[in-house]
Amino acid sequence: MPSSSTLTRRPPASSPVRRRSVLGGAALLGVGVLTGCGIPAAYVAEDRRSAPDRSEDDKRLVFSNWTQYIDTDDAGGRPTLDAFSEKTGIAVGYTEDINDNDEFFGKISPVLTQGAAPGRDLMVISDWMAGRYVSLGWVQAMDRANLPNVTANLDPQLADPAFDPGRRRSVPWQSGITGIAYNRKALGREIRSTADLWAPDLKGRVTLFAGLDEALGLLMLSQGADIAKFTDDDARRAMDLVQKTVDSGHVRRFTGNDYTSDLASGAALACQAYSGDAVQLTAENPDIEFVVPEEGGELWAESLMIPNRAAHKRNAELLIDYYYQPEVAAELAAFVQYICPVPAAREVLAASGDKEKAELAENPLVFPTDGMRARLHTMRDVTSAERPELHKVWGRITGV
């Protein structure tokens, strides 16, 4: 495998995790439901999901990912991916054709609904959207016999999401936390709780995420809800709170990709934020801190999934398992700097002899401490039945 010294750091401005702030769910609203039975009209039954696997005779696969979400070098190569091809003889057609969860959903939904070949064998989907792919029957169950490294090394805290119990149809690519970022020097005090955002001295200087799926978990946690099994009442109470802060002028605005610019410029002093962005924000400005609130932060993942009718399923599974070797996971983590779903990669970085990597091994935003982990919770998906009404209410609040 190429030396890590050849890796080129991801530019802060292109942080891929910000895609979670793209509004979610609109695409699903266009998927009809069969009258009287509650089954989406686009649902694909288990016996219609697979295609003849050409992996043995056709040593290749097509991998769809987001931009700048894999390690690269100065020559334009992808060291870990290139090493996989060299080791296995499997050529990887790597495409960065996912720019937005809803946009990609709209692009691939006609193909998957009709049972046609998707033209890709592997894709990375944000967890709140991944739940919809699972519920619609659009992704295949993986052969766990081909995933021994995943079984041995997957972070236990990511191993059993509500949308995919036991991770039968998804495997985390990278992970992150939704928490709070703030300028401690400018504010002059610490923020410890989401409730601290509503302090009088922050009026007009707070931003929240515009996306329901991105904002709601942290807000419900602040009110004591169990977001793994939240109720409609839990969601409504959180939205009522936000409505009051909007009415009083406390919330500056609801943000998408640009929330970091408000914090960096001083227009906002505190905001909902992602840990992946915080790694870069705090490196650029040491006055900015990221905190997992005392009452809890939201742990999420973006997952590798194999779509129905994929032509190279076993090859895709081999690639997934390759990235769960601690040495490979460490190489990827050193570049993307999100929460690594392979905790054992921390020891690899710590023992690398590279000062920067050793420091990364101690960064709790890449390898959370036990204390931080105790405050992390995973939110269940907003179901297709709940989504229309919740989006209507949330849209009135945010004006989006």
Residues 295 and 219 in one domain: yes
Residues 214 and 295 occupy one common structural domain = yes
Range of the domain at 194: 176-299+380-398
Domain-located, residue 2: no
Rounded-to-integer distance, Cα 178 and Cα 377, Å: 10
pLDDT per position as a tens digit, 198-231: 999 999 999 999 999 999 999 999 999 999 999 9
Say what the pTM is: 0.89
**275 and 165 in a common domain:** no
Residues 131, 146, single domain; the answer is yes
Q: Write out pLDDT tens, residues 31-53.
A: 544 333 344 578 999 999 999 99
Q: The tokens of 50 are what?
A: 């697979």
CA distance 323 to 327: 9
Is 14 among the domain residues?
no
Give 232-285 pLDDT, tens digit per residue. Answer: 999 999 999 999 999 999 999 999 768 999 999 999 999 999 999 998 899 899
Would 292 be classed as within a structural domain?
yes
Domain match, 135 and 194 both? no
Number of domains in the chain: 2
Looking at the structure, do residues 208 and 251 belong to the same domain, yes or no? yes
* Percentage of the chain lying above the pLDDT 90 cut: 84
Pairwise CA distance, residues 257 & 13, whole Å: 10
pLDDT band at residue 384 using 50, 70 and 90 as cut-offs:
confident
User: Residue 358: which CATH number?
Assistant: 3.40.190.10
**105-121 burial by CB neighbour count: b if 16+ within 10 A, else e?**
beebbebbbeeeebbbb
